[in-house]
Structure 1
Amino acid sequence: MSSGYDPIIAVAGIGYVGLSIAVLLAQRHKVYAVDVLPEKVDLINKKMSPFVDKEIEARLATGRLKLTATLDASTAYGNADFVVIATPTDYDPDQNSFDTSTVERVIGQVMGINPAASIVIKSTVPVGFTETVRKKTGKGTVFFCPEFLREGKALYDNLYPSRIIIGIDESDEKLTEKARIFAELLRECANKKDAEILFMNSTEAEAVKLFANTYLALRVSFFNELDTYAEMQRLNARRIIEGVCGDPRIGAHYNNPSFGYGGYCLPKDTRQLLANYGDIPQKLIRAVVESNGTRKDFIAGQILRKVGLYLEANSFPDQGGKRKTTVGVYRLAMKQGSDNFRHGAIQDVVESIQSKGAATILYEPALSDGERFCNSLVVNDLSKFKAESDVIIANRYDSSLDDVREKLYTRDIFGRD
């Protein structure tokens, strides 16, 4: 790529993935960030982030980015050399697959507005999707570039990428050249200039994304099941985990017990990979999916046990009518430093204990005091929340709970994700 090349880039979707890639590239190149929500567009044009990510917030605040957020897809796509698609692809249980309608809609818009633009799919899609789209639409310059980002650290992970993966039709020289240009754009805008670029066909790249996240879910599930064993056998889970992870082949990452894996990516990506297997022999992938449900059921049971012990110790009738124990739920976000609590495992746990008759209140500063969420009253006065909670549950511990340890249930051992 020549040093004088200065493409215009449009990014469809201003979520974690879309905004982080837009901010990354806008350090050097003109970028349009397109979304359907006016409030997101307004915040970005005011140099503010619509979600918590310290790196994104800092870069926006400088005012030095070549970034314009817009609702006008026609102008954005019409001027673009590359259109990056980062729209949501939620898992549809009825179809047993990701809902790729937003991705397909953007592809159709781009083809109608600016057929010369190259399309980069960043949204997570089923294995084989990109090749199918190329054949179905006849659009040659469409390729897949998976993201490997953490919520709350999305821009940091773009600035210091572990690797850059590009999925193409390797027999298409024009597509390959466009993909190489885009890969170099990502690397030149990153702080880590020697990030490895791996080219493969698009179906292999789609598989990389799903297998990578399923492996992370596998690690979470493994250490959660270790923790379940330790808790049931009255063993010290921390000592066991540290002993296991002292082996450098295993390592001390993704080993902190939790209420289950959650967030936007792992639950849906594991289910999509399982669906992609179809009739291919497997047991492990299904076990990863099912293990998460088993863990959440176990956690709910342990919480109810703690509730029962509380009732017994305080001479209150269990489920009997005179008094219900109030379970306080401390925060919903799955990751520290994130304000996103979509598909959080703790929400499933809360629903489970409510179904058994437990009353719940919620401390979540990302919500408004006094509103209701997850069938719980939001109480954001922390002192009041502690006082009104007979038992408190927390997926991730915080030092603000030091004074209520005697009524706290958490499986957070290491104080990190």
Structure 2
Amino acid sequence: MRIAMIGGGYVGLVSGACFAEFGIHVSVVETNPARLSALREGRIPIYEPGLDSLVASNSQAGRLTFGDDIAQAVAGAEAVFIAVGTPPRNGDGAADLQYVHAAARQIAQAITGYTVIVTKSTVPVGTSRRIAEIIRTTRPEVDFDVASNPEFLREGSAIGDFMRPERVIIGLDQKQPERASRAEAVLRQVYRPLSSTDATLLFTGLETAELTKYASNSFLAMKISFINEMADLCEKLGADVHQLAKGMGLDSRIGREFLQPGPGYGGSCFPKDTLALSRIAQEAQSASRLVETTVQVNEARKAGMAGRIAAACGGSVAGKTVGVLGLTFKPETDDMRESASIPILHRLAEAGAQIKAFDPVGMDAAKPLLPEGVEYCTDALSVADGADVLVVLTEWNIFRALAPEALVARMRHGVVVDLRNIFDPAAMRAAGLQYQSVGRP
């Protein structure tokens, strides 16, 4: 079986490599010359554990190829996946579909036989039908169907999520049952290797599949904003947010995931998708107030973290050295998109702080986004040297192993603001540190 993957970014590259591991011949189309050159040379332009070896093994086996010629990749392919970017549109937060529409026009010109065209990108409701219109307008004679197959990959564990998913959502044009059945047969063949797992293949209508991705991410973002508000309440009332979250999570209707307090959610999905869903709902004249409030709570959360750090320093960080552990929006990724570190460090720098920082993999991506003058350290302990306050922004596991005594010995003033709650409060205070965390007494 042959498929084409239009887009060699995070979603396209991970999906393409995993499909190749299924035994499918995958042609990945990437038009960015630098990214394409890196992929052809075996260099992975993103950080995702295990992706380098997966790409290498399938490239060597001839199942995974990279190029910039859409016509060559699409010709003879039974399914073509669109995995290009859909960034927020300036001004209103709606998804920018220019790359999706451009890909549809190019695919239409390249189709040589019956093809299922699948949107893997996160797109607003109605996009798959718009793709069908573009293709029919471009080449009325071609034989094709469209489908929506949203991805649910978590950065840092994307390969496991793809190979052992909880569910695979596939939207088809159920208004045309015969055509939907034909497209379903192709996509069942694409995902046939998952038949030996517990994964559920759920076939829905096009609009339902498109909306499911936005609804899922917005609901998870809402859980994060909720537990962050509960953390603030715990601090006021002397309760412990971790015990609270455990008590909530033991209820199977709620679940334990995404109930970890912190400085606010970030990344490539939650901020973009919550904004986009809010816009979709507004345009449909069915406002989603919970999603809108989730966005507002998260933005306020990030904005307030710099004030929390200043308060721990006696009210001001002017002239003080702030050591920062972690810059990426979460561990096991180099993704800086919408990371809480960006607004926090800019506010600290504007308030006169001298900033030292370390992140295991994210510093190159962080440098263009963070204030000038940030000192980037070579290891975690160097961040503590001469620091007045140490701030934990990303919960990388290597930070958990830092000994409190080592921090005391290196810091000028032993103030620690742990915004990810990775340290034991009793151990930190026993070492002589002034320790503050989130939502714990």
TM-score tier (shorter):
0.7 to 0.9
Between the aligned partners of 2:367 and 2:394, the Cα distance in structure 1 is 23
Unmatched 5+ stretches in structure 2: 138-143, 409-413, 424-441
**Structure 1 residues 55 and 180, CA, compared in 2 at 3 Å: closer, same or farther?**
farther
Aligned to 1:13: 7
Give the CA deviation at 1:120. 0.7
Aligned to 2:418: 410
Between the aligned partners of 2:263 and 2:419, the Cα distance in structure 1 is 7
Deviations 1:60-85, CA, capped at 9 Å, x for gaps: 34333500111222321234222111
**Structure 1 residues 393 and 114, CA, compared in 2 at 3 Å: closer, same or farther?**
same
Aligned to 1:29: 24
Aligned to 1:389: 387
**Structure 1 residues 304 and 44, CA, compared in 2 at 3 Å: closer, same or farther?**
same
Which shows bigger deviation, 278-287 or 43-52?
43-52
Between the aligned partners of 2:377 and 2:33, the Cα distance in structure 1 is 28
Aligned to 1:306: 312
What secondary structure does 1:141 align onto? strand
The alignment-based identity, stated in percent, is 27
Which shows bigger deviation, 182-191 or 248-257?
182-191
Give the CA deviation at 1:98. 0.4
**Structure 1 residues 378 and 182, CA, compared in 2 at 3 Å: closer, same or farther?**
farther
Between the aligned partners of 1:215 and 1:370, the Cα distance in structure 2 is 28
Aligned to 1:315: none
Matched, 1:243 2:238: no
2:124 maps to a residue whose letter is: P
Alignment of 1:265-276 (within 5 A): 265-276=269-280
**Structure 1 residues 301 and 9, CA, compared in 2 at 3 Å: closer, same or farther?**
same
Whether contact under 8 Å (2:336, 2:366) holds in the other structure is no
**Structure 1 residues 372 and 204, CA, compared in 2 at 3 Å: closer, same or farther?**
closer
Aligned to 1:86: 83
Alignment of 1:15-414 (within 5 A): 15-27=9-21, 28-62=23-57, 63-64=60-61, 66-114=63-111, 116=113, 117-138=115-136, 140-173=144-177, 175-190=179-194, 192-278=196-282, 279-308=285-314, 319=318, 324-364=319-359, 365-368=361-364, 373-376=369-372, 377-382=374-379, 383-397=381-395, 398-402=399-403, 403-404=406-407, 406-413=414-421
CA RMSD for the aligned pairs?
A: 2.6
Between the aligned partners of 1:136 and 1:291, the Cα distance in structure 2 is 39
Between the aligned partners of 1:59 and 1:351, the Cα distance in structure 2 is 38
Deviations 1:96-147, CA, capped at 9 Å, x for gaps: 4101111111111111122643211100011222223323542752221111
1:69 maps to a residue whose letter is: F
Which shows bigger deviation, 90-99 or 219-228?
90-99
Deviations 1:138-180, CA, capped at 9 Å, x for gaps: 2752221111110122121110111111112113346424431
Between the aligned partners of 1:373 and 1:262, the Cα distance in structure 2 is 14
2:407 maps to a residue whose letter is: V
What secondary structure does 1:176 align onto? helix
Whether contact under 8 Å (1:330, 1:392) holds in the other structure is yes
Give the CA deviation at 1:45. 3.3
Between the aligned partners of 1:349 and 1:94, the Cα distance in structure 2 is 23
Between the aligned partners of 2:367 and 2:257, the Cα distance in structure 1 is 37
Between the aligned partners of 2:249 and 2:89, the Cα distance in structure 1 is 36
Give the CA deviation at 1:191. 7.6
Between the aligned partners of 1:45 and 1:125, the Cα distance in structure 2 is 29
Deviations 1:242-275, CA, capped at 9 Å, x for gaps: 2333333322211111110110000010011111
**Structure 1 residues 370 and 270, CA, compared in 2 at 3 Å: closer, same or farther?**
closer
Give the CA deviation at 1:334. 1.9
What secondary structure does 1:344 align onto? coil
Between the aligned partners of 2:249 and 2:197, the Cα distance in structure 1 is 31
Give the CA deviation at 1:281. 4.3
Give the CA deviation at 1:373. 4.4
Between the aligned partners of 1:228 and 1:370, the Cα distance in structure 2 is 28
What secondary structure does 2:188 align onto? helix
Between the aligned partners of 1:125 and 1:369, the Cα distance in structure 2 is 26
**Structure 1 residues 234 and 10, CA, compared in 2 at 3 Å: closer, same or farther?**
same
**Structure 1 residues 195 and 240, CA, compared in 2 at 3 Å: closer, same or farther?**
closer
